[in-house]
Structure 1
Amino acid sequence: MGLINAIQNEIKAAVGYQQSFAELLASRDVTRALSMMRDRSESAAKFRKEYEINTHKVMEREDRAVYDKKGNFLRWSKRNKIPIPYQPFINEIALVFLYGRPVKWSQGSEGTDDAFSYYQNLMGEIRFNSIIREAKRAAGAEGVSAILYHCYKDEDNNPRLLLNLLSHENGDTIYIVKDQYKRLTSFAWGYYLTEAGNRTVYHVDIYTADTIYRAKRESVGWEVLVMPNPVGKIPVLLFEQVPEHSSVQPLIEKIEDSESTEADVIDRFANPAMVATAEILNSLPKAEDEAKLYILKNGGDVRYLTWDQASESKRNQFERLDKHILSKSFTPNIDFDNMKSLGNLSAKAIRKIMLLAVIKAERHKEKHDGYMNRHASIMKAIMGNVLDYRNKAQYDALVLRHEFQEPFGDDVSEMLADLSKQYNDGALSRETYLEMSYLVKDVKAEMDRIKQEEAERMAQQLEQQRELNKMDAFGEAE
């Protein structure tokens, strides 16, 4: 069947038969369907090469050939290759200021407490907070990554969900198709699997809103398994951005090259060298002698030539480049000395000091707000259509809201004092007070406990009042 499809597809292509993306998938012409999609692997590979220190451009420096006076080759002189991991440092700072603390979720609908509780439990089960950080880290390094929401059945035939991070580092190829409104209409994931006989085979899973195509490359054509998409949405959260280091990459390459060249110079000239006149050459002690005696003749001279310090201009250049790399990538200079000097500053004061990273995080939120909205939409579809379809109506009615949290936390004592004042003034309800208090982990459970305590206190007061009334009836009350 695969051979027949391959022949038919080749004939259609040869005669110039125009087919849409959907028609190509329907005819199992996976090769041409992929050619209509945007392949992100080439750009991801380029950025990953810049990111990993062992593939930095400075590592391409070749050793220097040494020749004698007659031009005969003598040896290779090693040249220093000093990669500096600015890229991971810049990327990690950006990650911490966006997802250093988990995204805070709340429900904006009524009568959906059970659905929201199930959502929160499921988020912990699928390790969303960890996966989202991994996805942001990969996107910050490569420019693109994706989270695939994979639905499957466990050993007991129950539907389950897991999240799979897709990135170039993990050996994944990402293909996408978007419409004119930048909406994702098709997504494909390419990967290799080792099958029986130690044979490595290329697979491609193509997702549309209503269909999943699982394709495996054969010697001729493709073997394609077509199945309906139970989620009803493309189960992918796609991360796209300019890599965090991209704007300062030329500066990083310059400083690495300068440092490597400087190291070569230090190796050649930093160690003291003896300078002696010809009159004492024959009187130099041997290297293994414990005591050294220099006998000078006829005005002979011996001294050490030392390299006192590097060029001031080179030192200034390094400081300027380092400053530009960090500031132009919106990265605060965080090291042990700087952090030690902060002391016991409040979260607000630290936020001001780290303003560059805060600015970058706020800029990232322009996109990541949309990413979190899409995540909520996908999760509601999975819960209602796959995992717990009996309660689909409740998941459809569930309104999920999110909030990014500050990486260093808030000044909780000040916030709690403000909340208490507003609650005592009647400006806040008790439930809102509990929702905003950092001490309360489960608002619903806390409300139930408070109501139970109030009921017990009321019952106790009523019992005391009855006892007082009884005593008064017999004239025993004071």
Structure 2
Amino acid sequence: MSIIQTISNSIKAAVGYQQSFDELLAAHDVTRAVAMMTCHSDKAASYLREYEVSTHKVMEREDRAVKDKKGNFLRWSKRNKIPIPYPKFINEISLVFLYGRPVKWTQLSEGTDYAYSYYKDLMRDIRFDSCVREAKRAAGAEGVSAILYHVFRDENTNKPRLLLNVLSKKNNDDIYIIKDQYKRLRAFAWGYYLTEQGNRTVHHVDVYTADKIYRCKRGNIGWEVDTYDNPVGKIPVLLFEQDPEHSDVQPMIERVENSESVEADVIDRFANPAMVATADVLNSLPKQEEEAKLFILKNGGNMSYLTWNDASESKKNQFERLDKHILSKSFTPNIDFDNMKSLGNLSAKAIRKVMLLAVIKAEKHKEKHDGYMSRHASLMIAIMGNVLDYIHKAEFEKLNLGHEFQEPFGDDVSDLLADISKQFNDGALSRETYVELSYLVKDVKGEMERIKTEQAENLAQQMALQRMDAFEPTD
């Protein structure tokens, strides 16, 4: 963008010139265009400081200055800083109860076997299950994250390919969005920095709309903008938004960390026994290198040890109350070695009841994540049909995908198999549905073909035996 164009844009903005978002980008006025968007960077950075142990508030405790009676500085007294990784524990438990096992995808349409098989292979190639866990972990820590669906041409094969990129503040990504009054995503921008020649760090902003992709690079004067048509036809982003998992209990976490740090200071000062003796005794104390432990008391001399009693019961009760509230109010079950030992050989249903708090939170998250998975399916269908394999676009458009969140501890498969076996034997299920529901079968289509082959072979054997019986001589 030239100096004249920069000055022109400034004058238009100063006099109230109305420029739409697309017009600003077309004019290479990226700064004002991005200013129209909602930026999540500041909030995400604030939540991330609460999440990472090294930046907890308790780490701001300063060492205490020790002075003599006249107020002269003597030395610094070290103060303990004990951060407790509650936020990470809470976040990981929430994650495992939602995406601990991969989302189960099903084909709800007919005549789309090729499209469904292509989708499953592509999901494995792009490592979607790993990426969605990473994005959910980042959103639980920072409040927002995104998965960017990047299509590009492979230099080796010269074919289009798909790459998933998880964006988060921890990865130094800035996320900007524009939504309409119905909360539909209308524009998305990704800000990042790249080190270029001369060890120079350059600010980049990639802006995505349904029609266009703007790749913006900060220049010496203004912005350099390259504009491309969006081949996907949709904004290729899956946006995760939520309140951080630890946000409701953060004040209690800070209280526990501060109390534990102060308690550690007290222990350092008073836990070791100290000797109390009169002046008559001090002169007869053994030297440090001597092994003798005999003290001779004269003229009524007295000697004793000053020991520190354990912390008061109220402090212990306070910690236990806060620990219980932090976990329960964040819907986090207390999972430790002792508690897990007591579960023994409980069934999946029984474990689900024990972990009810986490199950409640997972069900709450599904209110949003159902929509996220539906959007993912829609994006993948558009990418497959418009970019990766447009020859089969018509079949991809017919593909209807269903999804199901799975229990983290699995299902009671023996009960399930017994139930579907009974329904199959009663004639309530077809053989193909029976095979689809069986947890032992990984490839339903292949298994049905093997069953048909075996049935055909058995029928041929029976007919051969019948022919042999027909030509047997009779007595």
Whether the TM-score (by the shorter chain) exceeds 0.5 is yes
Deviation at 1:392, TM superposition (A): 0.5
The residue that corresponds to 1:266 in the other structure is: 267
Residue deviations 1:115-162 (CA, integer Å, cap 9, x gap): 000000000000000000000000000000000000001022100001
Whichever residue aligns with residue 303 of structure 1, its letter is S
Which range is displaced more, 397-406 or 282-291? 282-291
Q: Which runs of 5+ in 1 are unaligned?
A: none
Distance in 2, matches of 1:211 and 1:115, equals 27
Which range is displaced more, 115-124 or 14-23? 14-23
Residue deviations 1:384-441 (CA, integer Å, cap 9, x gap): 0000001111010000000000000001111110110011111111111111111011
The residue that corresponds to 1:367 in the other structure is: 368
Residue deviations 1:70-98 (CA, integer Å, cap 9, x gap): 11111110000000000000000000000
The residue that corresponds to 1:52 in the other structure is: 52
The residue that corresponds to 1:356 in the other structure is: 357
Deviation at 1:8, TM superposition (A): 2.5
Distance in 1, matches of 2:430 and 2:292, equals 89
The residue that corresponds to 1:111 in the other structure is: 111
Whichever residue aligns with residue 437 of structure 1, its letter is S
Cα 1:391–1:477 change in 2 (3 A) is: farther
Q: CA RMSD in A?
A: 0.9
Per the normalisation by structure 1, the TM-score is 0.98
Q: Which runs of 5+ in 2 are unaligned?
A: none
Tell me if structure 2 keeps the 8 A contact 1:5–1:29. Answer: no
The residue that corresponds to 2:151 in the other structure is: 151
DSSP-derived class of the 2:351 partner: helix
Residue deviations 1:333-352 (CA, integer Å, cap 9, x gap): 00000001111000000000
Distance in 1, matches of 2:200 and 2:281, equals 73
Distance in 1, matches of 2:386 and 2:253, equals 49
Distance in 2, matches of 1:69 and 1:198, equals 55
The residue correspondences of 1:182-331 to structure 2 (distance < 5 A) are 182-331=183-332
Distance in 2, matches of 1:238 and 1:213, equals 19
The residue that corresponds to 1:124 in the other structure is: 124
Pair 1:400-2:401 in alignment: yes
Distance in 2, matches of 1:47 and 1:15, equals 38
Tell me if structure 2 keeps the 8 A contact 1:189–1:204. Answer: yes
Deviation at 1:112, TM superposition (A): 0.4
Per the normalisation by structure 2, the TM-score is 0.99
DSSP-derived class of the 1:174 partner: strand
DSSP-derived class of the 1:285 partner: coil
Deviation at 1:477, TM superposition (A): 4.8
Residue deviations 1:327-385 (CA, integer Å, cap 9, x gap): 00000000000001111000000000000000000000000000000000000000000
Distance in 2, matches of 1:97 and 1:377, equals 25
Deviation at 1:3, TM superposition (A): 3.3
Whichever residue aligns with residue 97 of structure 2, its letter is F
Distance in 2, matches of 1:234 and 1:334, equals 40
Distance in 2, matches of 1:374 and 1:208, equals 16
Tell me if structure 2 keeps the 8 A contact 1:468–1:477. Answer: no
Distance in 2, matches of 1:470 and 1:114, equals 49
Equivalences, count? 474
Distance in 2, matches of 1:21 and 1:223, equals 17
Which range is displaced more, 85-94 or 153-162? 153-162
Pair 1:71-2:71 in alignment: yes
The residue that corresponds to 1:36 in the other structure is: 36
Which range is displaced more, 293-302 or 196-205? 293-302
